[in-house]
A and B are shown apart, each in its own frame.
Chain A
Amino acid sequence: MSSSDRFRLREFAVTSLTKYYEGLEQVIRTDRMPHIFCPGCGLGIILKGLAEAILKSGIPINRHVGVSGIGCTGRLPGYLRIDAYHVTHGRAVAFAVGLKLANPELEVTVVGGDGDIVTIGGNHFIHAARRNHDINVIIVNNFIYGMTGGQYGATTPTGSYTTTSPYGHVEYPFNIPLLAYASGATFIARWTPIHYAQMVDAFLQMFEHKGFAVVEIIAPCVLYGERNRFPSYTDMVKYFRDRCVIDHEADLRKIGISLDPKEPLVIGNFYKVRRKTYEELYKELIERVSKEGAKE
């Protein structure tokens, strides 16, 4: 491709993306377009959905804070016109915990990939869920490390071909909703970008929910698809359209993802329970201590 071709392509991307995000300039940094996401990636749609949810949330934009680690998904909060912290790989949840405890008025949302949140950041994720911090975690699961070129991760289905599993992947993947449930998360949902309205609705429920909220977004990734059963960049999207089954009451033990064309991909708003958050319990503790005095 010549440099003038590249320039024209860039101009086209800027124009089309600016048009795509029209009406959301208040929360999207359109001056940063084009974003870095590949054609065929789900992140552009998720960005739009999250921006829309922030606007609709009824929570002042100034109180929304985005936190992310490394990877394609880690770049997403940087395109939002909110306070955003793009930290080191896997550490977004721990950073969010500090932000929320220091200022419980903030609406803190972590946006990260499967590699960032449940692989390198798995320990922070399960413990923050266990403590039921009042933070939101959006996990964009694309089954692969996209930014680094397509290596396998903790959600890569068994048998998949990636740049580090050239003979087929021999590990078993995490089932994120089940992991979140077992760890103590109090709101759990799973959608795909093609279920746009439901995805935005899940984001809104997540903002409204008091407690550790996990929304897994199953996203198409061209890097994953091209080595596996989805050679064209629309193939994964078609698979989601054909095989997704909405079941809010699904047994979380049975909704692991194999990406087998014969298997259904179960999505829905799976779980919601109100349990006191760490922030609420600690506030009560402070009140108790100031009333009863210190421990001798």
Chain B
Amino acid sequence: MKSFHPRLLKPGRYFMQGNIATAEAALIAGCRFYAGYPITPSNEIAEWMSRRLPEVGGVFIQMEDEIGSIVAVLGASAAGVKAMTATSGPGFSLMMESVGLASMMEIPAVIVNVMRAGPSTGIPTLVGQGDIMQAKWGSHGDYEIIAYLPSSVQEVFDMTIKAFNMAEKYRVLTIVLSDQVIGHMIGKLVVPDYEEIEIIDRELPDVPPEKLVYPFDNSRLISPMPIAGAGYRVNYDSLTHDERGYPSVDRDVSFRLVSRLVRKIRENEKAIAEWEEYYTDDADILLVAYGCTARSAKEVVKKLRRENIRIGLFRPKTAWPFPWWRMNELSKRVSKIVVAEINMGQMLHLVREYSARDVEIVHAPYAPGYMPPPSYIENIVRGVYGA
């Protein structure tokens, strides 16, 4: 039976801002360390954590930059404490170096990226969905991460808890790709009884230190994680390392290590990926949308269904791993696909890659800065449908 701190958010119904719900969810998930750097539109998360973490015996620190923030988060997690940071586009870009570090050292951590309009400084106060690809491909070399796409206050709460669980379970960096609309939206939140909330903690070695010869054992996808100070005296290396943790330039060592780091997520992608379908059973035209854009897309489906237009919505809830098998199945049943997102074409590439060859794919990009109104998506759908 897990114990829950008496000062966590109590089960019940709330009307809460998305960013604050994110922070409360992290505390319930067991997060006790936050390092961050001020950046709009994620600031409420840091402000709330600076107030709440000391109440539950955790530590908040405002670092000198986003680079230091994510690195301190990894350090705290290496010492056995669940840790997170929150940021937005420019800060997320600065953190890319350590996305690779987290992967190489297999240190669990959570980044909440409240996406804003880019590129560069862009429009800090307005929404964007421009970090879908960066989340997966922004750091050098081969690695895997998990990334969630919340589209409501309730979902950003649920997904933040899940992000910690997945990070701990797979010893992987997990990213919550929230956005300015979801982060600043005030909406309904139901906190269930704690017993109903699943909390996963990383597996620790159960052998005495002298028996742990290969802390980075390649014969299993995920090894128990020795914590700093626990007596295992492990060398964690950002360099390509063998199963003892020692640096190596051997090609077999490198191939085995990188394969395992990637396989531990790819071989579990069906257990990790999530999506929502809305009127897809008999759909002839499929809308693909996620995050705040999916809210407008759903309205379009509702409206056009009243006109007996056979439209459905496919909403990936994880960008990474992308539910590609389901995308492929659905693409075979429809004649047209419309991808709506607040960027000039990111998830579009995934839809193209995994859809059947003969389906027509149309992109509905929206200028970063605003959430597309339903009418915008509706007009594009009508154009495609010829209605």
Query: Which A residues fall within an 8 A CB radius of B?
Result: 29, 32, 61-63, 65, 67, 70, 75, 77-78, 81-88, 91, 94-103, 105-106, 123-124, 126-127, 278, 282, 285-286, 289-290, 294-295
Q: Are B71 and A98 in contact (CB under 8 A)?
A: yes
Per-residue CB contact flags for chain B residues 217-256 toward chain A (1 = under 8 Å, else 0) read 0000000001011111111111100000011000000000
CA distance A63 to B227 in the complex (A): 11
Q: Are B75 and A98 in contact (CB under 8 A)?
A: yes
Q: Are B79 and A102 in contact (CB under 8 A)?
A: yes
Per-residue CB contact flags for chain B residues 2-30 toward chain A (1 = under 8 Å, else 0) read 00000100000000000000000000000
The one of A62, A83, A94, A286 in contact with B67, judged by C-beta atoms closer than 8 angstroms, is A94
Chain B residue nearest in CB terms to A293: B55
Q: Is B68 among interface residues, defined by CB-CB distance under 8 A?
A: yes
Q: Is B80 among interface residues, defined by CB-CB distance under 8 A?
A: yes
Q: Are A294 and B229 in contact (CB under 8 A)?
A: no
Q: Are B75 and A99 in contact (CB under 8 A)?
A: yes
CA distance A221 to B57 in the complex (A): 46
Q: Are B238 and A86 in contact (CB under 8 A)?
A: yes
CA distance A124 to B55 in the complex (A): 27
Q: Which residues of B contact A290 (CB under 8 A)?
A: 54-55, 57
A99 and B55 contact, Cβ closer than 8 Å, known pairs A84-B236, A85-B105, A86-B237:
no
- Considering the complex of A and B, which 10 residue pairs feature the smallest CB-CB distances, nearest first? A98-B75, A98-B72, A102-B79, A102-B76, A94-B71, A127-B64, A98-B76, A94-B68, A95-B75, A102-B81
The one of A103, A126, A289 in contact with B229, judged by C-beta atoms closer than 8 angstroms, is A103
Q: Are B59 and A87 in contact (CB under 8 A)?
A: no
A87 and B72 contact, Cβ closer than 8 Å, known pairs A94-B67, A99-B79, A105-B229:
no
Q: Are A83 and B75 in contact (CB under 8 A)?
A: no
Q: Is B211 among interface residues, defined by CB-CB distance under 8 A?
A: no
Q: Are A78 and B237 in contact (CB under 8 A)?
A: yes
Q: Are B59 and A95 in contact (CB under 8 A)?
A: no
User: Interface on chain B toward A: helix, strand, loop, or mixed SS?
Assistant: mixed
Q: Which of A81, A94, A103 lies at the interface centre, i.e. has the most chain B CB atoms within 10 A of its CB?
A: A94
Chain A residue nearest in CB terms to B209: A62
Q: Is B258 among interface residues, defined by CB-CB distance under 8 A?
A: no
Q: Is B98 among interface residues, defined by CB-CB distance under 8 A?
A: yes
CA distance A44 to B298 in the complex (A): 65
Q: Are A86 and B235 in contact (CB under 8 A)?
A: yes
Q: Which residues of A contact B234 (CB under 8 A)?
A: 83-84
Q: Are A98 and B229 in contact (CB under 8 A)?
A: no
Chain A residue nearest in CB terms to B247: A78
Q: Which residues of B contact A127 (CB under 8 A)?
A: 63-64, 68
Known: A87-B101, A106-B79, A294-B52. 4 other contacts (CB 8 A): A29-B235, A62-B233, A65-B228, A88-B97
Chain A residue nearest in CB terms to B71: A94
Q: Is B73 among interface residues, defined by CB-CB distance under 8 A?
A: yes
CA distance A94 to B236 in the complex (A): 16
Q: Are B51 and A295 in contact (CB under 8 A)?
A: yes
Q: Which residues of A contact B7 (CB under 8 A)?
A: 294
Query: Which B residues fall within an 8 A CB radius of A?
Result: 7, 32-33, 35, 51-52, 54-55, 57, 59, 61, 63-65, 67-69, 71-81, 83, 97-98, 100-101, 105, 226, 228-239, 246-247
Q: Are A85 and B54 in contact (CB under 8 A)?
A: no
Q: Which residues of B contact A67 (CB under 8 A)?
A: 75
CB distance from A83 to the nearest CB of B (A): 5
The one of B52, B101, B246 in contact with A78, judged by C-beta atoms closer than 8 angstroms, is B246
Q: Are A102 and B63 in contact (CB under 8 A)?
A: no
What are 17 residue pairs bridging A and B, where the CB atoms are less than 8 Å apart in the complex? A62-B229, A62-B231, A65-B229, A67-B75, A78-B235, A86-B235, A87-B71, A94-B72, A97-B61, A97-B63, A98-B71, A102-B83, A103-B228, A106-B229, A127-B63, A285-B54, A290-B57
A294 and B51 contact, Cβ closer than 8 Å, known pairs A32-B246, A87-B71, A103-B79:
yes
CA distance A94 to B65 in the complex (A): 10
Q: Are B237 and A102 in contact (CB under 8 A)?
A: no
CB distance from A86 to the nearest CB of B (A): 5
Q: Which residues of A contact B101 (CB under 8 A)?
A: 87-88, 91
CA distance A294 to B100 in the complex (A): 37
Q: Are B228 and A83 in contact (CB under 8 A)?
A: yes
Q: Are A83 and B238 in contact (CB under 8 A)?
A: no
CA distance A82 to B72 in the complex (A): 20
Chain B residue nearest in CB terms to A130: B64
CB distance from B250 to the nearest CB of A (A): 15
CB distance from A290 to the nearest CB of B (A): 7
CB distance from A202 to the nearest CB of B (A): 24
Q: Are B54 and A98 in contact (CB under 8 A)?
A: no
CA distance A63 to B148 in the complex (A): 37
A102 and B238 contact, Cβ closer than 8 Å, known pairs A96-B75, A97-B72, A290-B55:
no
The one of A78, A101, A124 in contact with B59, judged by C-beta atoms closer than 8 angstroms, is A101
CB distance from A127 to the nearest CB of B (A): 4
Q: Are B228 and A99 in contact (CB under 8 A)?
A: yes
CA distance A99 to B61 in the complex (A): 13
Q: Are B51 and A91 in contact (CB under 8 A)?
A: no
Q: Which residues of A contact B72 (CB under 8 A)?
A: 94-95, 97-98, 101
CA distance A164 to B65 in the complex (A): 29
Q: Which residues of A contact B81 (CB under 8 A)?
A: 102-103
Q: Which of B61, B79, B234, B237 lies at the interface centre, i.e. has the most chain A CB atoms within 10 A of its CB?
A: B79
Chain B residue nearest in CB terms to A92: B71
Q: Are A103 and B35 in contact (CB under 8 A)?
A: no
Q: Are B74 and A95 in contact (CB under 8 A)?
A: yes
CA distance A279 to B276 in the complex (A): 45
The one of B54, B68, B97, B233 in contact with A81, judged by C-beta atoms closer than 8 angstroms, is B233
A102 and B59 contact, Cβ closer than 8 Å, known pairs A86-B239, A94-B75:
yes
CA distance A100 to B35 in the complex (A): 13
